[in-house]
């Protein structure tokens, strides 16, 4: 009795359908994250510079508060009064205990409004507060 074994030739091709799916999902992921990154920052704010400025780690529940030089407070492209900011910070503190607040103030903004924002953070029991600054550009010596 003869037993025949049929061996199929294995093909050396890469299945394209899953590869295309992964490429499109990665593309969508980067498009969505780019949109959220641009929503957080105001374009017309000139950040101050500092010698020790460094890029911080992103945290869950992190909120950016933009302070224009005329004293306008902006969060997620919405102009806010101090009362509305207090309500927003209370909600952030309730949903994300230990969350962070980053104040992006214009270098020409008044200190009084920044102190009011810090007071709102303290009332909401948010302890992790930071000010955004750009590193000082090193000057080239001739």
Third-level CATH fold of 39-135: Nucleotidyltransferase; domain 5 (3.30.420)
Question: Domain extents for the chain?
Answer: 39-135
Query: Exposed, middle or buried by CB within 10 Å (0-12, 13-18, 19+), for 120?
Result: buried
pLDDT for the residue 15: 79
Residues 67-85: what's their mean pLDDT? 89
Residue 66 or 134, more confident: 66
Tell me the per-residue pLDDT of 94-134, one tens digit each, with 9 for 90 and over: 888 888 888 888 888 888 899 999 999 999 998 888 888 87
Strand pairing class (78-80; 73-75): antiparallel
In this predicted structure, which of 7-21, 61-75, 105-119 has the lowest mean pLDDT? 7-21
- Report the chain's mean pLDDT, rounded to a whole number: 79
pLDDT for 32 beyond 80: no
């Amino acid at each position: 009795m003869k037993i025949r074994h049929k061996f199929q030739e294995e093909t050396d091709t890469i299945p394209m359908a899953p590869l295309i799916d992964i490429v499109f999902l990665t593309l969508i992921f980067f498009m969505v994250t780019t949109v959220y990154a641009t929503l957080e920052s105001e374009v017309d704010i000139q950040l101050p510079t500092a010698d020790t400025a460094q890029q911080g780690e992103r945290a869950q529940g992190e909120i950016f508060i933009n302070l224009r030089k005329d004293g306008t407070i902006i969060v997620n492209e919405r102009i806010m009064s101090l009362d509305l900011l207090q309500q927003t910070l209370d909600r952030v503190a309730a949903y994300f205990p230990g969350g962070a607040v980053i104040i992006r103030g214009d270098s020409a903004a008044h200190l009084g409004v920044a102190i009011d924002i810090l007071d709102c953070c303290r009332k909401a029991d948010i302890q992790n507060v930071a000010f955004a600054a750009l590193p000082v550009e090193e000057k080239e010596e001739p």
